[in-house]
Amino acid sequence: MHPVLFSIGNVKVFSYGAMVALGALIAAILIYRHALARQLDAEKIVDMIFWIVVWGLIGGRILYVLINPDIYFKDPLEIIKINKGGLVFHGGLISGAIAAVIFITRNKLAFLETMDIIALYLPLGHAIGRIGCFLNGCCFGKPTDLPWGVVFPGHSIAVHPTQLYSTFLLIVIFLLLILCEKKKKFPGQILFFYLILYGAMRFSIEFLRDNPAVLGYMSVFQCISIALVLIGLILYGVLKNNRKSGKLEKKT
């Protein structure tokens, strides 16, 4: 593992923070180019991405701290050191989505079209960030005797490299959404496909993680993932029905 990519004097560049930043940058560039091609207000969308990233990091960190209070009660200053790891994507997804909704509403952007573009490239940025988890040696899975099991520093047994599983599946989701984009029939379709696909993926990956159960045999992340799938299915059904009945406006 390589928690520290390199050092410049006393300044260390951590792999986790670097990969998260790289993923966000690549996603932002692709979103900007896509917005230009769709003749949307690309400049405003770039501003929106900035706030999504900021609030995504805040939300991801808050949920991680809430789930691991003992770590941060001992040393509260560790809360701000997110470059070393310690983000929960679900928390960032929720807070980032709220920031996006507020920004889109205030700036009168095409809501569903804008959310579609964000959802299209979000899995790719997320996949790159997950590589940072692997390099950092966090977010790994349960013990395994499979030949591709990884022994992380400080551990004596091989575990599932769930970070790499997630990276692979997120890239698959990204490619599926690209195919959906080419055949999109109405605004919002990509967003809700993303919610369904990501929720199903994360729910499945959790079976290989060692997160504590909060509801029966399910972890808090599986509960949130089920909610994402249900939201995606319900809203997709509503939009599809509205389209058939002619209620869905082209400028939505």
Does the pLDDT of residue 103 top 90, yes or no? yes
Eight-state DSSP code of residue 139:
S
Per-residue model confidence as pLDDT tens digits over 172-209: 999 999 999 999 988 999 999 999 999 999 999 999 99
Instruction: Name residues whose C-beta falls within 8 Å of residue 123's C-beta, 6 or more positions apart in sequence.
Output: 170, 171, 173, 174, 177, 194, 198
Phi then psi for 210, rounded to 5 degrees?
-110, 40
Residue 136 in contact with residue 82, Cβ under 8 Å? Answer: no
Q: CA–CA separation, 183 vs 156, rounded Å?
A: 49
Token duo for residue 183: 């055949």
High-pLDDT (> 70) share of the chain, %: 94
Give the side-chain half-sphere CA count within 13 A for 233.
8
Positive or negative: CA dihedral 204, 205, 208, 209: negative
pLDDT for position 244: 66
**pTM for the full model?**
0.88
Q: Which of 53, 63, 58 is nearest to 27 (CA)?
A: 53
Residue 194 in contact with residue 232, Cβ under 8 Å? Answer: yes
Classify residue 247 by burial, with Cβ atoms within 10 Å: 0-12, 13-18, 19+: exposed
pLDDT for position 97: 93
> What are the extents of the domains in the chain?
4-177
* pLDDT mean over 211-230: 89
Does the pLDDT of residue 69 top 70, yes or no? yes
pLDDT for position 241: 79
Token duo for residue 21: 């930043």
pLDDT for position 249: 47
Instruction: Label residue 75 left, alpha or beta by phi (over 0 means left) and psi (-120 to 50 means alpha).
Output: beta
pLDDT for position 250: 47
Does the pLDDT of residue 248 top 60, yes or no? no
pLDDT for position 252: 45
* pLDDT mean over 43-48: 92
pLDDT for position 2: 80
* pLDDT mean over 79-96: 80
Q: Which long-range contacts (CB under 8 A, 24 or more apart) does 221-227 make?
A: 221/88, 221/90, 224/90, 225/90, 225/198, 225/199, 225/200, 226/199, 227/199
Does the pLDDT of residue 72 top 80, yes or no? no
pLDDT for position 164: 96
Residues paired with residue 11 on neighbouring β-strands, in sequence order: 8
